[in-house]
Amino acid sequence: MLENDAGRTYPEAFEASNGKIQLADSDSFDDDGRPKRTGTIWTSSAHIITAVIGSGVLSLAWAVAQLGWVAGPAIMILFSAVTYYTSILLAACYRTGDQLTGKRNYTYTQAVRSYLGGMNVKFCALVQYINLFGVAIGYTIAASISMMAVKRSNCYHNSGGKDPCKMNSNVYMISFGIAEIILSQIPDFNELWWLSIVAAVMSFTYSIIGLGLGMAKVIENGMVKGSLTGVSIGIVSETQKVWRTFQALGNIAFAYSYSMILIEIQDTIKSPPEESKTMSKATLVSVLVTSIFYLLCGGFGYAAFGDSSPGNLLTGFGFYNPYWLLDIANVAIVVHLVGAYQVYCQPLFQFIENNAAQKFPDNDFLTKEFKVPIPGFKPLKLNLFRLVWRTIFVIFCTVMAMLLPFFNDIVGLIGAIGFWPLTVYFPVEMYIVQTKVPKWSTKWICLQMLSATCCVITIIATVGSIAGVLDDLKVYKPFTTSY
């Protein structure tokens, strides 16, 4: 239930023939009975940039190294174009029917239910929530690597390079998990805007530092490393070359992945104008900015390190001067991932909590909220079920990260699994229903060809990433990973 200042309550969801509800206090509530949405192109762009310029940017130099100077940038541009186009299609599906007055779809899964129904809903929910769960694990791993990088850098310099500064990653993953347990009590996207802005600023910070160090390394080398076809056979076997190429596609897909939370972000936008118009502009700004960053970071990273480009760009610079700059970059990564974790997990949190509240509407444990005063801030709305379930979720993700600390391979697998269904298939199919595209028309055929091509890319990227994980498992011992 939602509550206004006067203590009046309105249902979270409602059923009406026209998908709208009229309230006397229309200045405070939207057409669906919920409090006025206040999101803009800038808050939406912050959410998207927080989601997109994630830890995936750090693996792009490695991905370009597997593909080479021709295929690497070309595939990155292709992924950005596909992501932008399908995001526009998806944004048009926020409202069923009319873009200004149609019934709202609050979540990605709800949009799929409205347009496609049947098994599509179950398939979408399965892929979306597995993907979000995987992102939480991947971000926990990435954050621990960056925290250890700061610690090892300072240890290395304090010892004058004599101490190898080996350390276990578990304590850092647990520290990150504790921070996420606290922040996971932020109820929803509307309360998360400030964290997204901080995280977006941090993502630019470490991307710019990585780019600057890459450029400096190229100047120091006096040459541009790399080749047209990527890592040479001989350095790796023919089989490894194939698997790594496939895995690189998954890494690039992960770097552009945010469609699974697009509808949830769009549900924060105020109207008029139509939410789809604002979201389209926010998508253009975000994808353009991220694509430029990705091309520069991936390109200069590969130019600096060539075939030996590391899976995490910042680790390639070692512990050498300016080590303080690398420390700033790694701290920025950790802060960014703290926020990005929450942005990605919100749809999963909302799914579980809304379903529980609908099944047991009279259960105080599930629905009652307590206001906890915080000096200098608005009171925190605390719900006991949210406290318990989100804490258990974060703990489980942290334990899984400690079990599977393979950053590059996990990133590739997550990106591969989610790319086709969430970024391409569902947006295309829903858009066809929304705009009534005639079957076998030129537009319909082109959309289906796009979907089929991306399906093939997803399959080969998944195969490559699974091969990488299996290769890692050969020399792996649970809970004992050290760097």
pLDDT string in tens for the chain (483-residue length) = 344 333 333 334 333 334 444 443 456 777 667 777 888 888 888 777 777 766 567 778 888 888 889 888 999 899 889 989 999 999 988 888 777 778 888 888 888 988 988 888 888 888 878 877 877 888 888 888 888 888 877 777 777 666 666 777 788 889 999 998 888 887 766 666 677 778 778 877 877 887 787 788 888 888 888 788 888 777 777 777 888 888 788 778 777 777 777 888 888 888 778 888 888 888 898 888 888 888 888 888 888 888 887 776 666 665 455 777 888 888 888 888 888 888 778 878 888 888 888 888 777 777 777 777 777 667 767 778 888 889 999 999 898 888 776 655 666 677 677 788 888 999 999 999 988 989 899 999 999 999 999 898 888 888 877 777 777 666 666 555 555
Which amino acid is residue 15, in one-letter code?
E
**Whole-structure pTM value:** 0.75
The Cα-based distances of 269 to 95, 111, 127, 190 in angstroms read 12, 16, 25, 9
Spatial neighbors of 412 by CB under 8 A, at least 6 apart, are 59, 247, 248, 250, 251, 254, 461, 464, 465, 468
Domains of the chain: 37-473 (1.10.4160.10)
Q: For 309-352, what is each residue's pLDDT tens digit?
A: 777 666 666 545 577 788 888 888 888 888 888 877 887 888 88
Q: What is the four-CA torsion angle of 267, 269, 273, 275, rounded to 10 degrees?
A: -30
What is the rounded distance in angstroms from the CA atom of residue 431 to the CA atom of residue 440? 15
What letter does residue 362 receive in the DSSP assignment?
T
Radius of gyration of the chain (CA): 23
Say what the pLDDT of residue 2 is: 41
Burial string for 8-23 (b: 16+ CB within 10 Å, else e) reads eebebeeeeeebebeb
Q: For 98-131, what is each residue's pLDDT tens digit?
A: 777 788 888 888 889 889 888 888 888 888 788 7
Alpha helices in 257-406 (DSSP H): 262-266, 275-305, 323-359, 364-367, 384-403
The answer to whether the beta carbons of residues 150 and 323 sit under 8 Å apart is no
What is the rounded distance in angstroms from the CA atom of residue 206 to the CA atom of residue 209? 5
What letter does residue 36 receive in the DSSP assignment?
P
The Cα-based distances of 409 to 117, 324, 461, 465 in angstroms read 33, 29, 11, 6
What is the rounded distance in angstroms from the CA atom of residue 133 to the CA atom of residue 404? 13
The Cα-based distances of 312 to 26, 198, 308, 357, 468 in angstroms read 50, 22, 11, 41, 16
Strand, helix or coil for residue 318: coil
Say what the pLDDT of residue 190 is: 63
The answer to whether the beta carbons of residues 438 and 205 sit under 8 Å apart is no
Given phi > 0 = left and psi -120 to 50 = alpha, else beta, which region is 445? Answer: alpha
Spatial neighbors of 387 by CB under 8 A, at least 6 apart, are 185
What is the rounded distance in angstroms from the CA atom of residue 131 to the CA atom of residue 260? 8
Spatial neighbors of 151 by CB under 8 A, at least 6 apart, are 165, 167
Helix (H) or strand (E) holding 427: helix 426-434
